[in-house]
Amino acid sequence: MKKLQPPFKVSAKQSLFGTGSSTSWGLANILHFTFEFSILQKVNLPYFFIIFHMIGVFFGAIFVMEVLHKTDSITVFLIQFIFLVFFLMSLMIFLQPLYTPFALFGAGFCIGIGSGSVHINTLRAFPELKDPAKWGAAGRLFSQGLGVSSILVIIYAIINLTENFVLTFIYFTLILIITLVSMLITKNDFQNITQEHVTTITILKNKKNLPKLGVAFFHGFFIINTYYAAILIFDSLGFIQYLNSYALILFTIVAIVSIPVGMIVDRIGRRITAMVGLALQALAFLVLSFLSDFNIPLIIIFISFLGIGFTFIYTGFTRLEVELSRGLNLRDELSISMGFVGIGAAVGVILGEVIKHLIIVTSNAAYLTIVLLFIFICATIVVFQVRETLPSRSDKFTKPDFIDDEDLTLYKERKICLVCKGKATGFEVYVCTDCGVLYCLKCAKALSNLENICWACNTPIDKSKPTKPLKGVEEEIKEEIIKDKFK
């Protein structure tokens, strides 16, 4: 089992800037788990109409790739966030069957637009994440945001229990104001991330991208399965009046387990974490298949397994998708991934309706478990077609293929070691005599015994020694030095 890397130290400005990501996830989960269902109930439309929202996610992702690719990530995020809140509020105000599908599509469209910018903004706040060697702490950073977003859903579920329109309206308004203010006052502290545009067709034509897009598809399918399939079964059993209680318990579970799951994904890897989540969801619906009447203990067990499985899936799949995307094309690749999340979710809605019909006809929820087990096997095959992105210890001492000027400037200003990304201050520091890049003393000594060159400018670190490439026996020396460093 891998040793955990030290967690990221989050400053006040990084926390303020990061509110955008957390509140965006929170609003998306509010929309998915209770909001859209309660609106459809009020306008007497079938639950199947939430498919408009899923289709909107796909078209929003394509739109941002093809139209907004030159726009700054903060601007894109704030525009989509404002419109997302607008569509949520308008759904509460205009309770009309003709308007509801349009607004659901609009809300999904906004989520699709914002997916790439959310992750680019995270990189702006934490530029260390551009280095794969630091991904061993990324799961815990993500889990903090997931925990905050879960609290937003919990608060909404409590408010919605009162069915107070004014309180809900005030709540959404406060979220909007806090997000806008916190990001606007800190945006100048974080540099933009240079991105190269890649078209949708180019990504789809590259066969190497297919497994990654398959991961995104199953991500969307199983995320929607967490709530849509459960809601359909609850509705068929006559429990739909407990929708807010369901969301309240579910996201309390998510908030509790998010931090431990972040540690797990950083220890055992992204693929295994996602697979554990899928297995837990299958187990949850196996429990549900025994539910024939209002059995509170069984329902709580079902929701608990579902919430834990959701957290594993959400964390594992998200980190996998982000880390499989290339740096210069990160925004566009994550946008198309979100488009496939929308497609997977839409397929989940259609399949849910088919299974609902079977359950009504046969009065047997076991069909859902059988179908999910089959899809679980398919998802497992697809997920293991992509590489594991959690770095090994030796990855920390692997020279990056490319180090740009922005990175070098950042490391110098913040006094960060170019190798281990730890602090390089005081007497325990080596400064390159040519380019001025900093190394902590342990990394400088290790490099002097390996290549003996500066990673930034290839200047010898110890001028009394020859420079040499790593190969053959020297790889064994490297392993020994790495073991010493991490003792």
Main-chain phi, psi angles of 47, to 5 degrees: -60, -25
One domain, residues 450 and 350: no
Taking the C-alpha atoms of residue 406 and residue 410, their distance in angstroms, rounded to an integer, is 6
Share of the chain above pLDDT 70, in %: 86
Asked which of 354, 383, 412 is the last residue of a domain, the reply is 383
One domain, residues 85 and 67: yes
The per-residue pLDDT for 477 is: 41
One domain, residues 239 and 135: yes
Check pLDDT > 50 for residue 36. yes
pLDDT digits (tens, 9 = 90+) for 222-264: 888 778 777 777 776 666 667 778 888 899 999 999 999 999 9
The answer to whether position 183 is within a domain reads: yes
- CB count, 10 Å around CB of 382? 16
User: Which range has highest mean pLDDT (169-173, 282-286, 300-304, 374-378)?
Assistant: 169-173
Q: What is the CA radius of gyration of the chain?
A: 24
Taking the C-alpha atoms of residue 97 and residue 82, their distance in angstroms, rounded to an integer, is 23
pLDDT, mean over the chain? 83
Check pLDDT > 70 for residue 134. yes
The per-residue pLDDT for 195 is: 80
The per-residue pLDDT for 474 is: 42
The answer to whether position 248 is within a domain reads: yes
As a whole number of Å, the end-to-end CA separation of the chain is 15
The position carrying tokens 């061993």 is 136
Q: Are 320 and 273 in contact (CB under 8 A)?
A: no
The answer to whether position 179 is within a domain reads: yes
Q: Quick one: average pLDDT of 316-332?
A: 85
Check pLDDT > 50 for residue 481. no
The per-residue pLDDT for 385 is: 86
One domain, residues 404 and 339: no
In this structure, of 9-18, 151-160, 399-408, the range with the lowest mean pLDDT score is 399-408
Q: Quick one: average pLDDT of 388-409?
A: 66
Q: Quick one: average pLDDT of 341-364?
A: 77
- Note the helical H segments in 10-72: 12-17, 19-30, 36-42, 51-66
User: Which range has highest mean pLDDT (233-237, 348-352, 470-474)?
Assistant: 348-352
One domain, residues 108 and 54: yes
One domain, residues 340 and 458: no
Taking the C-alpha atoms of residue 211 and residue 217, their distance in angstroms, rounded to an integer, is 10
Taking the C-alpha atoms of residue 428 and residue 461, their distance in angstroms, rounded to an integer, is 15
Token pair, residue 480, equals 């020994």
Please name which of 137, 65, 55, 62 lies closest in space to residue 102, comparing C-alpha atoms.
Answer: 55
Q: Are 66 and 89 in contact (CB under 8 A)?
A: no
Check pLDDT > 50 for residue 88. yes
Alpha carbon 429 to its chain centroid, in Å, reads: 35
Taking the C-alpha atoms of residue 422 and residue 56, their distance in angstroms, rounded to an integer, is 42
The answer to whether position 139 is within a domain reads: yes
The answer to whether position 3 is within a domain reads: no
One domain, residues 417 and 268: no
Alpha carbon 347 to its chain centroid, in Å, reads: 21
One domain, residues 185 and 272: yes
The per-residue pLDDT for 346 is: 92
The per-residue pLDDT for 476 is: 45
Does the pTM exceed 0.75? yes
Domain that holds residue 285: 12-383
Check pLDDT > 90 for residue 99. yes
Share of the chain above pLDDT 90, in %: 31
Please count the helices (runs of H) and the strands (runs of E) in the chain: 19, 2
One domain, residues 34 and 176: yes
The answer to whether position 1 is within a domain reads: no
The per-residue pLDDT for 60 is: 94
The answer to whether position 388 is within a domain reads: no
One domain, residues 334 and 408: no
Asked which of 322, 348, 383 is the last residue of a domain, the reply is 383
Q: Quick one: average pLDDT of 423-428?
A: 76
Alpha carbon 233 to its chain centroid, in Å, reads: 28
The per-residue pLDDT for 54 is: 92
The per-residue pLDDT for 155 is: 93
One domain, residues 468 and 375: no
Higher pLDDT among residues 358 and 387, named by residue: 387
Asked which of 358, 383, 408 is the last residue of a domain, the reply is 383
Q: Which residues contact 203 (CB under 8 A, 6 or more apart)?
A: 209, 332, 333, 336
Secondary structure, 3-state, 178-239: HHHHHHHHHHHHCCCCCCCCCCHHHHHHCHHHHHHHHHHHHHHHHHHHHHHHHHHHHHHCCC
Check pLDDT > 60 for residue 483. no
Beta bridge partners of 431: 438
Taking the C-alpha atoms of residue 318 and residue 50, their distance in angstroms, rounded to an integer, is 22
Please name which of 337, 331, 323 lies closest in space to residue 116, comparing C-alpha atoms.
Answer: 331
The answer to whether position 102 is within a domain reads: yes
One domain, residues 360 and 407: no
Check pLDDT > 80 for residue 370. no
Check pLDDT > 50 for residue 480. no
Check pLDDT > 70 for residue 470. no
Higher pLDDT among residues 216 and 195, named by residue: 216
Beta bridge partners of 453: 460
Check pLDDT > 80 for residue 294. no
The residue type at 235: D
419 in helix, strand or coil? coil
The domain total for the chain is 2
Q: Quick one: average pLDDT of 319-328?
A: 84
What is the CATH number for 438?
A: 3.30.40
Check pLDDT > 60 for residue 45. yes
- CB count, 10 Å around CB of 487? 5
